[in-house]
Amino acid sequence: MNTNLLNALEQDYIVNGIEDRVAEPSIIKVIGVGGGGSNAVNYMFEKKIKDVEFAICNTDRQALLKSPVPNKIQLGASLTMGLGAGMDITRGREAALETIEEIKALLGGSTQMVFITAGMGGGTGTGAAPVIAQIAKEEMKLLTVSVVTAPYSWEGSSKKEQALEGIEQLKKYSDTVLVVLNDKLEELFEDMAITDAFAQADGILLNAVKSISEIITTSGNINTDFRDVEKVLKEAGQSVMGTAEVDGDNRAHEAIRKALDSPLLNDREITGAQRILVTLASSKRREATMKEQREIWKYILSQVGGEAHLFKLGTIIDDTLGDKLRVTVVAAGFDSVEPPIPGVKARRPTAELPVEEPPIVVIDEVEPEEPKEEKVEIIEEEVKEEPTILPQNFPNKVNSTPTSDFTPSPYIEQQQTNYIPIIHEHKQFPLHYDDQRVPQDSMSGRLEREDWSAEEYSRIKELVERFRDKKRINWDELDKGPAYRRSQIDLWRKPAIPAHEIEQIRLD
């Protein structure tokens, strides 16, 4: 896991110990991606689904903080800086690619099946959901089911085309993709208040996930386990779903009829479907009978137009239904493929997502060329002698640079210039503190041999003689105070040092 990035942004809430905790018995995970997907999973988390683990992935840090779901991953923390993807699917895709290791950790453990829910058309959901699906299906080898919504028709062609692009990517990297059109939800709940209608829309996604997952996690009269569901949904491609709840004496017939006439089927009949998964839910107070079960599967086969290649029917107990019977049908494996969003074509071919092996870089061996001798032209110029500048008067010696009035022509082709490094020789004067090692004559002779000016020679010789003659040094005078006071140096621009903080050290 990219711990440096998480620590840098202090986002310890993002991944809640996914790698460290003991693998939980749940084999199903439901992951909400982006704003729409996260809202749907928040709703599912509050309503509860038996033995299912929830998580959300989003680029929006504020949305993550508000979510009650315990498992959260912030996508692209360094890329988006905690903000959304801004309707940019490329940015959403890159945000997911930046957080691959965290996604793999989330999908690890005992997970065998993953639901990915997202709203298509936005930036994060459309861009990141296919990346997560590809990791789950191709790298983690999980049964991957994507349940997504498509935008309203009035949201514009650009958003619908972008949504279609995301759906096509999901179809490539998911075992099955279930698309719910917002326009169809609007038909179902057109008389409801907006808030209630959105809750009902989240309820549709909840029912889609619950109907499939609880076949595995809940034991009914017919125990359809994970392997049975896997056979139906594995590599099933695009699927459609219909659901209905009915009570009364003729509830079985009415429920299956309404389910297959549901707007959620996107005006598509199930004729020719080769894979069918049916969930029959009822309460203990009025449990479904064998007669109702037979009536349902006979009606489905009559609508398919023959025998389906795979047909699985599971029954579950849901005491919240009371006297109602809920039938949910998922159909896939159609002979003809219809566009997920009617009347919308993809604006460009979908690109391969770069989550697999890194590209192999081949470096050709290049034989080294023999170095060519370059002729360096040395131009000698006459340099006028300048007056000597004494170091005691000017601490920083600056060499003047001769100026030139030459202006290069713009029509002269520039050529490579070879520069000769200029090495400055610095005269060194070794200081010796032992009178026995350096005789007086040797020191004086050295001073005479050096190229010193008369004033420099006199000053240096005076300093040497002073340090050689210990009797001329007044040690008591050195103990009287700091050097700047003895030398009468004005330090009015600097803060004075209290006398009690000055440490006096004798040099003898």
- Which residues participate in the annotated binding site for GTP? 35-39, 123-125, 155, 159, 202
> Annotated binding site, which residues?
35-39, 123-125, 155, 159, 202
Residue with the two structure tokens 């697999």: 356
**How far, in Å, CA of 64 to CA of 58, rounded?**
7
Under 8 Å between Cβ of 116 and 87: no
Strand 325-332, strand 237-246: pairing: antiparallel
Nearest to 162 by CA among 233, 87, 220, 98: 87
> CA-CA-CA-CA torsion for 265, 270, 272, 277, nearest 10 degrees?
100
Strand 52-58, strand 237-246: pairing: unpaired
**Sequence-ordered list of residues with C-beta below 8 angstroms from that of 173, at least 6 positions apart, any chain:** 130, 133, 134, 137, 138, 144, 353
Q: CA of 224: how far to CAs of 236, 311, 316, in Å?
A: 18, 11, 10
> DSSP letters along 233-302, please?
HTT-EEEEEEEEEE-STTHHHHHHHHHHT-GGGTT---TT-SEEEEEEEE-STTPPPHHHHHHHHHHHHH
Phi, psi of 231 (to 5 degrees): -65, -35
Under 8 Å between Cβ of 89 and 162: yes
**How far, in Å, CA of 228 to CA of 223, rounded?**
9
**Sequence-ordered list of residues with C-beta below 8 angstroms from that of 95, at least 6 positions apart, any chain:** 59, 75, 76, 79, 80, 85, 124, 127, 128
